Amino acid sequence: MNDVKPMQIDIGVCTYRRASLDEALLSLAVLAVPEGAKLRIIVADNDKVASARERIDALRATIPHEIAYVHCPASNISIARNACLDNATGDFLAFIDDDEDASEEWLVELLAAARKTKADAVLGPVRSVYSSTAPNWMREGDFHSTLPVWVGGEIRTGYTCNVLLRLDSPHVAGRRFNLALGRTGGEDTEFFSHMHAEGGGIAFAPEAYVYEPVTESRAGLSWLAKRRFRFGQTHGRLLQEQNTGLQRLKQIGLAVAKAVFCYAAALACIFSPIPRYRYALRGLMHTGVVSGLLGVREIRQYGTAEAA
């Protein structure tokens, strides 16, 4: 008699009034399931009213995996992410956004990388899908897709739009997202930065794709500018935690120099849209770093999401 307990992978989906939730869940219904594993989906509804409950119930018969619905009202994304962690009962917890579609081999690839590297967290790439109405420079330059950043040959922080967490890891167990960042964003950057600083390893599964449509509201320079600035603010705030006195002043000076260089490079590329916007947005990110180092509070991002 075989009493071996199957591995369980929970999939956390945080949602706030998005019609795309249905499509995201249906993509999970046709996932390739890793051998010897079973899947369980946790939907954390971050709306003040339980707006996603009826839609989830309507989909249960279509999706071959258990779905746990959790209502966590507050319009605070950290509360929703923590609800997924609190309700996870599996060996691993994967996160995917409610406006993303998973590729068929998504979890197979993430789990293979986790087993091979023994990492505490494994990131996958997010491929953006542009409509024909998006600006040419944006589509050709692919300004929205998400990949990890390597520093000194290692990944030092991460994101929750495509990740697998090893729940029994001492660097993951008991760790939670910062509620103070639940309306601004940056809670995932802080989560993974602190995890790494305390010895947690982060790996990358290059074939573990998820796909994210770029909506009309995001297909503009203003949206990209706001997001890059906020990224910089989060990084600056983390640097502020790590540096005091002259070291903090040195970090401010370095960020200012980088911003000036990027703006000058953008000006030099005035007739070439892709490098122009790439340098300008990078300059905004470094300006955000200065803002974070000076203690300016991050701009609000969540709780005002586009609603269906």
- Concatenate the DSSP letters of all residues of 46-99 into one string: -SSS-TTHHHHHHHTTT-SSEEEEEE--SS-HHHHHHHHHHH--SSEEEEE-TT
Residues 238, 107: one domain? Answer: no
Residues 71 and 143 in one domain: yes
Residue 306 has pLDDT above 50, yes or no: no
What's the confidence (pLDDT) of residue 57? 95
Residue 7 vs residues 86, 89, 121, 271: alpha-carbon distances, Å: 18, 11, 17, 55
Among 213, 240, 268, identify where a domain stops.
213
How confident is residue 6, by pLDDT bands cut at 50, 70 and 90?
A: confident
Instruction: Label the pairing between strands 202-204 and 121-123.
Output: parallel
Q: What range does the domain containing 250 cover?
A: 221-293
Kindly state the tokens that stand for 16: 């706030």
Q: Point out the domain boundary residue: 180, 213, 246.
A: 213
Do both 60 and 120 map to the same domain?
Answer: yes
How is 125-179 classified by DSSP, letter by letter? -EEEE--TTS-HHHHHHT-S-B---EETTEE----SSEEEEETT-TTTTT----G
Number of domains in the chain: 2
Residue 308 has pLDDT above 60, yes or no: no
- Measured CA to CA in angstroms, residue 255 lies from 102, 217, 284 at distances of 36, 29, 10
> Residue 5: its pLDDT value, please?
77
Of the three residues 193, 213, 233, the one that is the final residue of a domain is 213
Instruction: Report if residue 95 sits inside a domain.
Output: yes
Does the structure show a pLDDT above 70 at 301?
Answer: no
CATH number, domain containing residue 76:
3.90.550.10
Whether 251 and 280 map to the same domain: the answer is: yes
Instruction: Report the percent of the chain where pLDDT is more than 90.
Output: 88
Do 94 and 173 fall within a single domain? Answer: yes
With 0.85 as the threshold, say if the pTM is over it.
yes
CA distances from 117 to 54, 112, 124, 175, 298 (A): 40, 9, 14, 21, 34
Angle at 93 between CA 90 and CA 96, to 5 degrees: 145
Name 39's bridge partners: 9
In a domain, 298, yes or no: no
The pLDDT tens digits of the residues spanning 238-286 come to: 999 888 889 999 999 999 999 999 999 999 999 999 999 999 999 999 9
* Strands 150-151 vs 154-155: parallel, antiparallel or unpaired: antiparallel
129 assigned to some structural domain: yes
